[in-house]
């Protein structure tokens, strides 16, 4: 039985290392990602499942055989650990694949942000502000309805973005001293 474990470890391990080195999407499971209900968790049609199953089935079986564990216990544990690792990896990667990453800065990200005036702004004079959003510095044309002008380096708050993408600013509220 040790030969079966070693072959599974060699084949699975080689495919796992190759997929890590060369990357790419090796999850050929047409339609299973779209299945709802009880069938959605079944990973058996995924190539990734079989790669992880073979690798960890072979590794577990080989190690337990090497320490002279009982053959039946070795087979049961090898199958359980191989299936568990394959299922866990497929489930994790599917969950990660569903998430959407978006680093674009939209008006919803800017409203409520503090910004620094970089070109003075007054009620009748358009200027510019710089905000730090999503680890990015964003420069925006700015306007105000406040009667008192905003000077360079003054901290302001963006309370709206108009239809032209212009930031509407007001005085940033000072934190109350304790």
pLDDT tens for residues 110-164?
999 999 999 999 999 999 999 998 888 999 999 999 999 999 999 999 999 998 8
Pairing state of beta strands 114-119 and 167-171? unpaired
Query: How far from 40 is each of 26, 43, 45, 74, CA to CA, in Å?
Result: 18, 8, 11, 30
Which range among 44-58, 81-95, 112-126 has the greatest average pLDDT? 112-126
Lowest mean pLDDT among 12-21, 45-54, 93-102: 93-102
Closest CA to 13 of 68, 75, 62, 46: 62
pTM over 0.75: no
47, 53, 56, 62 alpha-carbon torsion, rounded to 10°: -120
User: Shortest CA distance to 43 belongs to which of 89, 87, 88?
Assistant: 87
Indicate the pLDDT class of residue 42, thresholds 50, 70 and 90. low
Please report which residue ranges of 23-142 form alpha helices under DSSP H: 47-66, 71-98, 107-110
Tens of pLDDT, residue by residue over 154-174, are: 999 999 999 888 999 999 876
Predicted confidence (pLDDT) at residue 108 exceeds the cutoff of 80 = yes
């Amino acid at each position: 039985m040790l030969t079966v474990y070693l072959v599974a470890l060699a084949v699975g391990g080689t495919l796992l290392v190759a997929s890590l080195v060369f990357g790419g999407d090796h999850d050929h499971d047409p339609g299973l990602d779209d299945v709802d209900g009880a069938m959605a968790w079944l990973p058996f049609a995924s190539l990734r499942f079989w790669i992880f199953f073979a690798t960890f089935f072979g590794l577990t079986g080989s190690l337990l055989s090497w320490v002279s564990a009982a053959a039946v216990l070795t087979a049961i544990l090898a199958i359980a650990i191989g299936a568990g690792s394959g299922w866990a990896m497929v489930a994790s990667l599917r969950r990660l694949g569903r998430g959407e990453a978006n680093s674009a800065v939209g008006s919803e990200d800017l409203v409520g942000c503090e910004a620094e005036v970089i070109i003075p702004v007054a009620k009748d004079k358009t200027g510019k502000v710089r905000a730090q959003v999503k680890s990015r510095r964003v420069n925006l044309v700015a306007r105000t309805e406040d009667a008192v002008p905003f000077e360079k380096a003054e901290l302001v708050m963006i309370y709206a973005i108009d239809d032209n993408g212009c930031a509407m600013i007001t005085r940033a509220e000072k934190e109350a001293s304790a």
